[in-house]
Structure 1
Amino acid sequence: MRVTISAKLKLRHTPEQKAMLDAVSLAYRDALNFASKEAFKLDKTSSAPKIHKAAYETLRERFGLGAQLACTVERQVAATYKAQWTKLKQNLSAREKGFTKRRYKGLDSAPKFVSRTLEYQYGRDYSWKKDGRVSISTLRGRTVLEFDGYQKHLDAIAAGCEMGAAKLYYQKSKKQYYLIVALNLELPDPRPTDHKNVVGVDVGQRYHFVATDQDGRSLFEKGAATRQRKDQFTRTRKSLQRKGTRSATRRLVALSSRERRFVADRNHVLSQMLLTRFPGSIFGLEDLTNIRERTEGRRSPKASKKAKRAKRHRSQWSFAELQTMLAYKAPLHVALAVRVDANYTSQCCPRCGHCSKANRPNAGLEFVCEVCGDQGHADRVASVNIGLRTMLVRQDWMSTGALSMRPDVSDNEAKAARLSRYTELRWSPDANPRL
């Protein structure tokens, strides 16, 4: 089983070496903007061969980039335009459904690159020295630098693990360059007998997560403090945007970086909390693909402040980052993360199987089954149902030998069959709880 992790290495550069890194990072950024304008002239193309034909010679001669860096520039610009076209298509679909009236403007002009970040290819643009240093390309040839990092990452590099691409990243606040390297680790293939415990994880906004294992032990993590901090960031941002001065703009840039780091750190802590509390488990996660498009209704032009605030909270909900962090960390802790269907997890009674919206009075946090009378916290009930579905995934894995890490949401018939199987799942040991 291959797992890819990112190792952040702090480069110990001299003033002369920093000047060389400044030159290549600025040239790379200017090359990106030039190639972006050329792609815009070619009917906003996302084809790397077309961009190569129009810009390659200029990238080599005017900006002094090597052959590999020039090709990397072209691929990055092509990927950027492809992402812009995807967002445009999503916007057109949302406008047809009445979700928004705003027109996507990302392709009205050529995308502009401002970050001093460039990508290196292993073996071509960067390589490791035997004395524990790294050699990277600049406009004036190779330069060899020492570096610091997390000890486990350094041990993996010293052991000669498989490398991927690396990014040279410049942090303005510290005037420091970092090299972010993709490490491909080979781990033993997971087996169903390796994981004795199954944990269902329900993510939300009031509670970042509610996790329940097969023995009924639950872990609640409230999100009120994090939401208040995000609201504080929002109020400060609005105040600075109203001022509109140059100093206010500089503070906005610093504030955005601080908020992003705060959210990422919070998700790291939450994922580590789950792995520490339930070691060596199979974690069941809801497949929330396109959850906002499926749950948000038509936008009202006269929405109240409360509705706008709720919509902002939904847009700031970073469940995908939390699930991604848990999924990539799990194999490193001899655990596993799988996705299950999220349909009706908080509306189905895990005791008798009755499923109805009426089981959630006033759509609140209280769950009351209208058939068997079972009561409980709605998010905990959802985590129990997710755990039951995860147990079913493990049972299929043990019987067939094939593990499905993600349900096939594109096949409606297969999904309907899975939902039909879910109705037979029970948490209660009673043969017929309805009696």
Structure 2
Amino acid sequence: SRTTSRVKIHNGYYETARKSFRLLSANVQLALDKAIETQRAFLNKKGKKSVPKFKKQFACFRQDTFKIFDRYVQFNMPGRERVNIPFKVCNPNHKQFIKQQPKRSQLINKKGKWFLYVSYETDKPAIDGNINIIGVDLGVKKIVTVSNPEASVNVFFSGNKAIYTRNKYQRYRKQIQRAKDTGKAKRGYRALKRISGKEKNWIKDTNHKISKQIVNIAKQNKADIAIENLKGIRERIKATKKVRRMLHSWSFRQLISFLQYKSAMAGVRIVSVDPRHTSQRCPRCGHISKDNRKSQSAFKCSQCHYSVNADLVGSRNIALTALNLYGEGKRPSERAVMLLPMAEGKTLMASCLEAPSVRAG
């Protein structure tokens, strides 16, 4: 079925799911909502696409279906039953959130271990009359460019090392794949798994360092952070086949999630904006034209002849777009969801709690 109608899916699958799985109605509905969200993303995706599959076992929980205590998490079950499962906080710095009211959570199985990702809200400082904003532009040759409309902040995070490192791991994978084809399949599989783990850890470490520096820049300049909505980023950025391969495999969403949780902990406001025309609009006169982009790295306005690095244009326009939203009264939410990384693994939404080791049954 290609339907994404919430009503039709609820009518068609809700009762079956309730009978098949011993779950609360709220959790069944969250699972259906997740399926609808995935289906819509799949149908809206352009170009070549494969049917989405969930690679990990997971379950979603609404805030009124679980409660976190110091050493365990209590889950509500049908029939007013409750199940207590011991957990430990992956990062000691996240213990401060345990007493706060969570918003939602996901229970995910990762290599035989269960992790609970819990999202929280944090109060945001009041908006005063003097608003400083730095824009964050994502790319390839420069993974991140940070700037502001006044041009007093201009920081580049080069992507050269990222491209080199990703290509290096790609060469390793090809060599190992050739070895597998010669009959050494088991050894090759272990090597591929090891290489993949090293690569993911390197990306994660890089994203942590970049996000930390961006938050420090915002604090030093007493500025809010404006980021682009990531929807369609892979289609927007034009580059060579080799560079696009790196782009498709780089975890920009992980970078943004790290930036969100670090900014929330630092008391820095963050807002997401529509990135349309940010690479073609002149930050000086506002003229929008494809002709303004002379090359991947050069920008020159065809109207006022303002010339500057193209990456700086993107980040400044993102900041200007956020300022315009503020001017229209469309301020970022007064409360922001905390996105916290777990001690090991991929990006996650929340303070991470780890359950005792179990085998997926």
For normalisation by structure 2, the TM-score amounts to 0.69
Unaligned segments of structure 2, at least 5 residues = 2-6, 334-361
1:85 aligns to 2:39 (yes or no): yes
Would you say the 8 A contact 1:367–1:375 is kept in 2? yes
- Over aligned residues, Cα RMSD in angstroms? 4.1
Counterpart-to-counterpart distance in 1, 2:285 and 2:66: 61
Other-structure match for 1:403: 331
Counterpart-to-counterpart distance in 2, 1:357 and 1:348: 9
**1:288 to partner: Cα distance:** 4.8
Which amino acid is the alignment partner of residue 161 of structure 1? Q
Counterpart-to-counterpart distance in 2, 1:285 and 1:324: 11
Would you say the 8 A contact 1:119–1:168 is kept in 2? yes
- When Rg is computed on C-alpha atoms for both structures, the one with the higher figure is 1
**1:151 to partner: Cα distance:** 3.5
Counterpart pick for 2:228 among 269, 274, 286: 286
Superposed counterparts of 1:35-434, under 5 Å: 47=9, 50-51=12-13, 53-54=15-16, 56-57=18-19, 59=21, 67-68=23-24, 72=27, 74-75=28-29, 78-79=32-33, 81-83=35-37, 85-86=39-40, 89-90=43-44, 94=46, 99-100=47-48, 104-105=50-51, 115=56, 117-118=58-59, 127-128=68-69, 132-135=70-73, 142=83, 145=86, 147-157=88-98, 160-169=99-108, 171-172=110-111, 177=113, 179-188=115-124, 190-193=126-129, 196-213=131-148, 214=150, 216-242=152-178, 243=180, 245-279=185-219, 280-293=222-235, 307-361=240-294, 363-370=295-302, 372-397=304-329, 402-403=330-331
**1:211 to partner: Cα distance:** 1.2
Counterpart-to-counterpart distance in 2, 1:75 and 1:250: 39
- CA deviation vs aligned residue, 1:140-199 (integer Å, no higher than 9, x gap): x85563634434421221xx2102444455554xx7x45424142341453143x64221
* SS at structure 2 position matched to 1:202: strand
Would you tell me which structure has more helix in proportion to its own residues? Answer: 1
**1:134 to partner: Cα distance:** 1.0
| 1:291–1:118 CA distance, 2 compared to 1 (3 A) | closer
Would you say the 8 A contact 1:359–1:369 is kept in 2? yes
* SS at structure 1 position matched to 2:140: coil
| 1:250–1:349 CA distance, 2 compared to 1 (3 A) | same
| 1:81–1:332 CA distance, 2 compared to 1 (3 A) | closer
Unaligned segments of structure 1, at least 5 residues = 1-38, 40-44, 60-65, 297-305, 406-435
Would you say the 8 A contact 1:162–1:183 is kept in 2? no
Which amino acid is the alignment partner of residue 396 of structure 1? E
* SS at structure 2 position matched to 1:267: helix
Counterpart-to-counterpart distance in 2, 1:255 and 1:48: 42
Other-structure match for 1:421: none
| 1:142–1:344 CA distance, 2 compared to 1 (3 A) | closer
Counterpart-to-counterpart distance in 2, 1:143 and 1:58: 23
| 1:105–1:150 CA distance, 2 compared to 1 (3 A) | closer
| 1:235–1:77 CA distance, 2 compared to 1 (3 A) | farther
Would you say the 8 A contact 1:52–1:71 is kept in 2? no
Counterpart-to-counterpart distance in 2, 1:238 and 1:278: 41
Which amino acid is the alignment partner of residue 236 of structure 1? Y
Would you say the 8 A contact 2:270–2:332 is kept in 1? no
Which amino acid is the alignment partner of residue 231 of structure 2? T
- CA deviation vs aligned residue, 1:12-56 (integer Å, no higher than 9, x gap): xxxxxxxxxxxxxxxxxxxxxxxxxxx9xxxxx983564454455
Counterpart-to-counterpart distance in 2, 1:367 and 1:121: 47
Would you say the 8 A contact 1:46–1:82 is kept in 2? no
Paired residues in the alignment total 319
Identity of aligned residues (%): 22
Would you say the 8 A contact 1:169–1:178 is kept in 2? yes
| 1:147–1:234 CA distance, 2 compared to 1 (3 A) | same
**1:231 to partner: Cα distance:** 1.7
For normalisation by structure 1, the TM-score amounts to 0.59
Which amino acid is the alignment partner of residue 154 of structure 1? K
